[in-house]
Amino acid sequence: MAEKGQPQGKVVRIKLVRSPIGFPKRQKATVVALGIRRLNQTVMHVDSPALRGMISKISHLVEVEEVMG
């Protein structure tokens, strides 16, 4: 049994490499929704179709790495 708080399945590491300043509000909101607050911050999320959709909308601002969890 997995410990509480540990993600199940494939994990995606997302790093903000470009500032969302000067981009539409919806793209800024997507960055915030992913839990990214500052440049070069890295967050990890469980891979899902909804997450992939969010990443595709801001792919020009982030770097994505797949991590097996």
Q: Give φ, ψ of 55 to 5 degrees.
A: -65, -40
**In this predicted structure, what is the pLDDT of residue 1?**
45
Is pLDDT at 69 greater than 90 in this prediction? Answer: no
Question: How far, in Å, CA of 10 to CA of 57, rounded?
Answer: 20
- Model confidence pLDDT, tens digit, residues 43-56: 999 999 999 999 99
Is pLDDT at 35 greater than 60 in this prediction? Answer: yes
What's this model's pTM, rounded to 2 decimal places? 0.84
Q: How many residues does the chain have?
A: 69
**In this predicted structure, what is the pLDDT of residue 7?**
57
- Model confidence pLDDT, tens digit, residues 8-34: 779 999 999 999 999 999 999 999 999
Domains and their CATH numbers in the chain = 10-68 (3.30.1390.20)
CB neighbourhood size of 54 (10 A): 18
- Start-to-end C-alpha separation, the chain: 14
